[in-house]
A and B are shown apart, each in its own frame.
Chain A
Amino acid sequence: MPESADDILSIDRLWRRFRRWKERPRTLKDAAIRLVRREGVAYDSFWALRDVSFNVRRGEALGLCGANGSGKSTLLKVIAGIVPPTYWRVVVRGRVAAFLELGAGFHPELSGRENIALNGVIMGLSEREIARKTDSIIEFAELGEFIDSPVRTYSAGMYLRLGFAIACHVDCDLLLIDEVLAVGDAAFQQKCAAWFDALRARNVAVVLVSHFLPTLAEMCDRAVWLDGGEARAEGEARETLQRYCPYAVLPPRREVRGA
């Protein structure tokens, strides 16, 4: 697949291996005992991603579908730079922001406000940028007085709103979303849809993982079907999703208002 400068993301023959430990020396004591008994450490490995290649153009929305354990989340984490590739190459030509599992990246003992600052810092914002955006994030999250409570006291919906509000305030060229939007209420879903439109208008590319195929069909231009770590099919979103699940009833791609 030829790369071009118009691609925000190029994944080229990507492999990722994980170790599967049989009996792992979790402690120094175990390791010492194994050493004395001259036992080796037993593990085999499995490939979570095998030879995956695709490109995403600027402003394009790509959906990832596939069964549990097919490598979708691993793929997102490799794209986000959290998990390094084992072999071959991932190139991102712009800023990435990731909105992965619920509550990830939040410190449970810190308040919502402190977590906003921390998240801003790990997304590489300067302190001035964070200070400027904090009020707007708080307003967007609609957490009221809970913003100064420790986030361990939050409900799933509150976690979601806070994480989402932060993700919305990061200027990025590529956004990664993993299966988190489903726990929001109706008002939240509407907010999401409006946000997606705004992203498209700003030419931000999106890679979206979901098991809810109608959402993928509605939101995405293209889709990739992962199966056992391999890309089984890739192409126009509805066509690909239909191949993955022939019985699914899929809505058409949503038109963007005012675009």
Chain B
Amino acid sequence: MSAVPDFSEYRLEGAADVWAGWRARLTLIKHLTRRHLAERYRGSALGFVWSLLNPLLMMLVYSFVFRVVMRAQIPGVRYEAFFLTGYLAWNFFSVGAQNAASSVVEGRYLIHKARLPHVALPLAAILSNLVNYVVVLPLLLIFNAIFGVRLGPSILLLPLAVLLLSALTVGVGLILAGAAPFFRDLLQVSGVLFTAWFFATPILYHLQYQLAPHVSPAMLLLYEMNPTVGATRFIQAVFLNEAMPWREIAYSFLGAIAFLAIGILSFGRLSKRFFEAL
């Protein structure tokens, strides 16, 4: 046996590498995304209505708890509008990240069969949830208008807010997707984690009215470091015409960059071993 060299290379030369350009990658992501959406809607409007059922039910439950049981209120805005605005954003984030987490395990039949950019699997899972979210936004605007919400110029920042939320989703989604093939209980564990994370994000209570008066400034600062706080507050400020919480948005932006960096690096490293783990 000769000495083993510390070097490895797989090379496709010339125009042979179909994934070298962006076009084939985008086609793949587009195709997978379309399939996710087709599965969800099953080609009917009923599928779309079905996807609204969960947020509306949650809204009813939480507005009962918040207004009737807890006797709490948020000055200037109807609770239903406040909750739904934050919850739809959270839904995109948490379902997107968790779908991304399971996408690699579900796509094992492709990973064993073909050379393809593995990252397309989680990205397509998130993209389909983004489409889902964006399609629902006009309905949210109508709903909020019924509850007396007036839009302000801050609505122009909507693309930026969605971008921040998406970046966060991709970052967290990639971290989970890279680890999921190696730990079979990761999806269950992350489910618990997301529930905890939900309560650590100001969705069913308002940061300014229900949280800030009851905690110390240091505690509040710690709370605001949670990157989902800024992203959610950004969305709420955009839709409900509140003052922009720039400080929290800045924390969230830094958090998104950190998650993205960790996600891209870890997924890139771990994806080389997917074949062994799946």
Interface residues, chain A, with chain B CB atoms under 8 Å away = 13, 15, 18-19, 25-29, 31, 50-51, 77-78, 80-96, 98, 100, 104-107, 110, 114, 117-118, 121-124, 126-127, 173
Question: Judging by beta carbons under 8 Å apart, are B4 and A15 in contact?
Answer: yes
- Determine the residue in chain A with the shortest Cβ distance to B13: A93
Q: Which of B112-120, B141-149, B167-175, B213-221 contacts A (4 or more CB under 8 A)?
A: B112-120
**Which listed residue, B6, B8, B35, B183, touches A28 by the CB 8 Å rule?**
B183
Question: Judging by beta carbons under 8 Å apart, are A122 and B28 in contact?
Answer: yes
**Which listed residue, B9, B14, B109, B275, touches A105 by the CB 8 Å rule?**
B109
Question: Judging by beta carbons under 8 Å apart, are A96 and B8 in contact?
Answer: no
- Closest 5 pairs between A and B when the two form their complex, measured CB to CB: A124-B18, A105-B113, A81-B115, A27-B185, A104-B113
A28-B189, A95-B18, A121-B28 known; A89 and B11 CB under 8 Å? yes
Residues of B within 8 A of A173 (CB): 16
CB distance from B176 to the nearest CB of A (A): 12
Q: Which of B19-27, B70-78, B242-250 contacts A (4 or more CB under 8 A)?
A: B19-27
Docked pose: A80 CA to B10 CA in angstroms: 10
**Which listed residue, A50, A81, A92, A118, touches B31 by the CB 8 Å rule?**
A118
- Determine the residue in chain B with the shortest Cβ distance to A25: B183
Residues of B within 8 A of A126 (CB): 23-24, 27
Question: Judging by beta carbons under 8 Å apart, are B16 and A94 in contact?
Answer: yes
Q: A28-B186, A85-B8 are in contact. List 18 more A-B contacts (CB 8 A).
A: A25-B183, A82-B113, A82-B114, A84-B10, A86-B8, A87-B7, A88-B7, A90-B9, A90-B11, A92-B13, A93-B16, A96-B115, A104-B109, A105-B113, A107-B109, A118-B35, A123-B114, A124-B24
Question: Judging by beta carbons under 8 Å apart, are A87 and B4 in contact?
Answer: yes
Docked pose: A121 CA to B114 CA in angstroms: 11
Question: Judging by beta carbons under 8 Å apart, are A82 and B11 in contact?
Answer: no
Residues of A within 8 A of B9 (CB): 85, 88-91
Docked pose: A167 CA to B220 CA in angstroms: 60
B222 at interface (Cβ–Cβ under 8 A)? no
Docked pose: A146 CA to B205 CA in angstroms: 54
CB distance from B276 to the nearest CB of A (A): 6
Residues of B within 8 A of A86 (CB): 8
- Determine the residue in chain A with the shortest Cβ distance to B12: A92
Can you list 23 A-B contacts (CB < 8 A)? A15-B4, A19-B276, A27-B184, A28-B189, A84-B8, A87-B6, A87-B8, A89-B7, A89-B11, A91-B11, A92-B11, A92-B12, A94-B16, A96-B12, A98-B114, A100-B113, A104-B113, A105-B113, A105-B114, A114-B35, A122-B113, A123-B18, A173-B16
Residues of A within 8 A of B115 (CB): 80-82, 96
Interface residues, chain B, with chain A CB atoms under 8 Å away = 1-2, 4-14, 16, 18-19, 23-24, 27-28, 31, 35, 109-116, 183-186, 189, 272, 275-276
CB distance from A62 to the nearest CB of B (A): 18
Question: Judging by beta carbons under 8 Å apart, are B184 and A96 in contact?
Answer: no
Docked pose: A153 CA to B186 CA in angstroms: 31
Docked pose: A29 CA to B7 CA in angstroms: 35
Residues of A within 8 A of B275 (CB): 77, 82-83
- Determine the residue in chain B with the shortest Cβ distance to A91: B11
- Determine the residue in chain A with the shortest Cβ distance to B113: A105
Residues of B within 8 A of A107 (CB): 109
CB distance from A106 to the nearest CB of B (A): 7
Residues of A within 8 A of B23 (CB): 126
CB distance from A177 to the nearest CB of B (A): 14
**Which listed residue, A78, A81, A87, touches B5 by the CB 8 Å rule?**
A87
**Which listed residue, A85, A118, A124, touches B10 by the CB 8 Å rule?**
A85
Docked pose: A26 CA to B7 CA in angstroms: 29
Residues of B within 8 A of A15 (CB): 4
CB distance from B16 to the nearest CB of A (A): 5
Question: Judging by beta carbons under 8 Å apart, are A121 and B10 in contact?
Answer: no
Residues of B within 8 A of A118 (CB): 31, 35
Residues of A within 8 A of B11 (CB): 89-92
Residues of A within 8 A of B113 (CB): 82, 98, 100, 104-105, 122
Docked pose: A24 CA to B184 CA in angstroms: 11
Docked pose: A34 CA to B14 CA in angstroms: 47
Docked pose: A82 CA to B278 CA in angstroms: 13
Docked pose: A23 CA to B141 CA in angstroms: 54
Docked pose: A26 CA to B27 CA in angstroms: 34
Question: Judging by beta carbons under 8 Å apart, are A122 and B183 in contact?
Answer: no
Question: Judging by beta carbons under 8 Å apart, are A122 and B1 in contact?
Answer: no
Residues of A within 8 A of B28 (CB): 121-122
Docked pose: A171 CA to B276 CA in angstroms: 29
Docked pose: A85 CA to B2 CA in angstroms: 17
Question: Judging by beta carbons under 8 Å apart, are A95 and B16 in contact?
Answer: yes
Docked pose: A80 CA to B31 CA in angstroms: 22
Residues of B within 8 A of A77 (CB): 275
Question: Judging by beta carbons under 8 Å apart, are B16 and A50 in contact?
Answer: no
